[in-house]
Amino acid sequence: MGDKTDVWQGTLALMVLRTLETMGSQHGYGLARRIEQTSGDLLQLNYGTLYPALLKLEQEGFIRSSWGISENNRRAKFYELTKAGHRQLKRAAAEWEQTTNILARFLTPAEEA
C-alpha cells in the first residue's frame, strides 16, 4: 500500500464513518452517493475504491454489515457504526480538525511580523 492511497483511504474512512453516523444504516451505493452529495459534487468517487475501504473498517471493527432490503426493494448489504466506530470517529475528527487548523496557520497570509 503506497502512501497516497493511505492518505486517501484515511480521509475516505473518516467520510464513511461520519456519513454512517448521520444517516444510520446504509448500503455501499447509498454511501457513495451521499458522500458525493455532501462534498457538493466536488468529489467524484471511483465507487470501486469504496468497498476495500469498507472492508478495512469492518476488519478493524469500526463498522458491521448485514444483508437487508433497500428502499426500492433490492437486496443490499447495509453497513452501520459500532461503538468502537463512534469512538474512532470522534478521535479521527479531532485529529483531522487539528491538522487542518495547523495547515491553515501556514496557508493564511501572515498578519504579524
Partner 1 sequence: MRELKALALRIGGLFRFRRPEADFAAELESHVALHTDEGIRTGLKPAEARRQALIRLGGEEQTRQAHRERRTLPWLESLLRDFNYGLRTLAKHRSTTAIAILSIGLGIGANATIFSMVSRFVLRPAPVGDPTTLLAVHTLPQGEQCCNAFSYPLYTDLRDQAKSFSGVAADYELIPASIGGSAEPERVWGQGVTANFFSVAEIPMKLGRGFVSGEDNAPAVVLGAGLWQRHFNADPGIVGKSVTLSNHTFTVVGVAPLAFHGVEQILYTEFWVPLGNVANLVPLAPKESARDYHWAMVIARLKPGVARSQVAAELSTLALRFGKNNPATDAGNSFVFEQAGTLPPRERNAVLIFLAALSVVVLLVLSIAGANVANLLFAQAAGRQRDMAVRLALGATRARLQRQMLMESVMLGMGGGAVGLLLSLWATSALSTLRLPAPIPLDVSVAVDWRVLLFAFALSVISGLLLGLAPAWAAARPLLVNALKGEDALARPGRRITLRNLLVIAQIAMSVVLLCVTGLFLRSLQSAATIDIGFRPANLLLMSVDPRVQGFTPEQTARFLAELRQHVAALPGVVSAISTDVAPLSGGNRSDGFTIAGRPVKDSSFSYADLYMVTPGFFEALGMPRMMGRDFGGETATGPRTAVVNQAFVQRVFGGQNPIGQHVQGGSLTYEIIGVVGNAKSRTLGEESRPMLYRSLDQTIADDPSLMGYTLIVHTAGNPSAIEEAVRRQIYGLDPTMAIYNEETMEQHVRTAYILPRLAATLFGTFGFIGLVLASVGLYGVMSYAVTRRTREIGIRMALGAQPGTVERLVLRQGLILTLIAVALGWPAAWMLAKMASSFLYGIQPHDALTFALVPPLLAMIALAACYIPARRAASINPMQALRTE
The residue ranges that bind partner 1 (CB under 8 A) are 27-30, 46-49, 51-52, 55-56, 59-61, 70, 72, 74-77, 84
Min separation Cβ 50 and partner 1, Å: 9
Rounded CA gap, 85 and 16, in Å? 10
Task: Read off φ and ψ for residue 3, nearest 5 degrees.
Answer: -65, -40
Backbone conformation region of residue 10, classed left if phi is above 0, alpha if psi is from -120 to 50, else beta: alpha
* Closest to 60 in 3D by CA, of 89, 35, 31: 89
Q: Which is nearer to partner 1, 68 or 103 (CB)?
A: 68
SS3 39: coil
Min separation Cβ 22 and partner 1, Å: 20
Q: Which is nearer to partner 1, 51 or 100 (CB)?
A: 51
Min separation Cβ 101 and partner 1, Å: 26
Min separation Cβ 11 and partner 1, Å: 17
Rounded CA gap, 87 and 17, in Å? 10
Q: Which is nearer to partner 1, 42 or 113 (CB)?
A: 42
Q: Which is nearer to partner 1, 15 or 32 (CB)?
A: 32
